[in-house]
Amino acid sequence: MPDNSSPANAKQPLGKPKIPVVFWLLLTISLSLIMGTVLLSNDMKHLKTVSHYFGFDLFPPDVRPPPPKALPRPTPPATFGLPLHLIEPPLAQTASTFLRTWRISGPAMCAALRDAGIATSDWAAASFNADTFECFFEHGGKREKDQLPNSIFVIVRGDAAGAINNMRVKIINPETDQNGQLDPGILRIFETMLRQPQWLDFHETLTAIKNLKDIKEDGFGASINFTREVLNPGRYNFTLSLDATSGPQKRTRSYFSDRTWLPSPEPTVETDGRPAPVSTPADAEGPAKNADHPQ
């Protein structure tokens, strides 16, 4: 029998099975993929944590520029509301109007007439009524033949507080020049009465009086009349007054009553107890001299 016990054919002893290298390679790749997935998930949150733990700054913080400053808000435009009474039509029962007032007192007017050479009396209570105050001047000439005597009567009336009510002048058979114009000495009475109140809108009155023509002017409550008497051609009457006739004028006067408001000061500058003389045009003649009241 052949001998099968040769060393080449002898059986090897059984040992541990060997793991192929491919297995380890696949295992390594699988673990790497799993770790990479874990580290890169959630926006690489775990990778940042691990790097920070080991002291590595793999992801430096982004340096962002500061946000631009907000522009200041523009100031809103100012707004205002008009009161309702400014845009509503005025009611007829409450409407008022411009109303003229005396800008000179009775005593000051009397003093101005005296300064102009018209020797008026002092401002005092009237003999017929203690509530009425007045100053007056009268002058009468001699009667010549059939002619009326020339005479002048001037009166300024008001109240105890000095407020003027009216001023009146009556001239009879006045002296005139060769042109039929009023004597300058008499005309000076009307010049003083028209200029002292400082109402500058009555332009034609003085010219008409100078030529002895009838005239009537009204404006803002003031009324001026110069008329010749119909039955007596040589007699002339002059009236200057303030009279609130219409409803709006009466409401204005009532609103600005002296019982509500303090009286306004005299418009003229007083020196030595007398008002300053009113300025006169260059072509106007100077006031007549008076022995009792020198200039």
- Tens digits of residue pLDDT in 228-252: 998 888 899 999 988 766 666 677 6
CA distance 192 to 113: 7
Q: Tell me, yes or no, whether 48 and 115 share the same domain.
A: no
pLDDT in tens, 32-54: 777 777 666 766 777 777 777 76
Does 142 map to a domain? yes
Q: Is this prediction's pTM over 0.75?
A: no
H or E stretch at 29: helix 21-53
Does 96 map to a domain? no
Q: Tell me, yes or no, whether 41 and 156 share the same domain.
A: no
Does 183 map to a domain? yes
DSSP 138-169: EEE----TTSPPPEEEEEEEE-TT--EEEEEE
Residue 267 scores a pLDDT above 70: no
Residue 143: give the domain boundaries: 106-256
| Total count of domains within the chain | 2
Q: Tell me, yes or no, whether 36 and 153 share the same domain.
A: no
Does 264 map to a domain? no
Q: Tell me, yes or no, whether 235 and 110 share the same domain.
A: yes
Give 41 or 179, the one with higher predicted confidence: 179
Whether 191 contacts 202, CB under 8 Å: no
And the tokens for 3?
């001998």
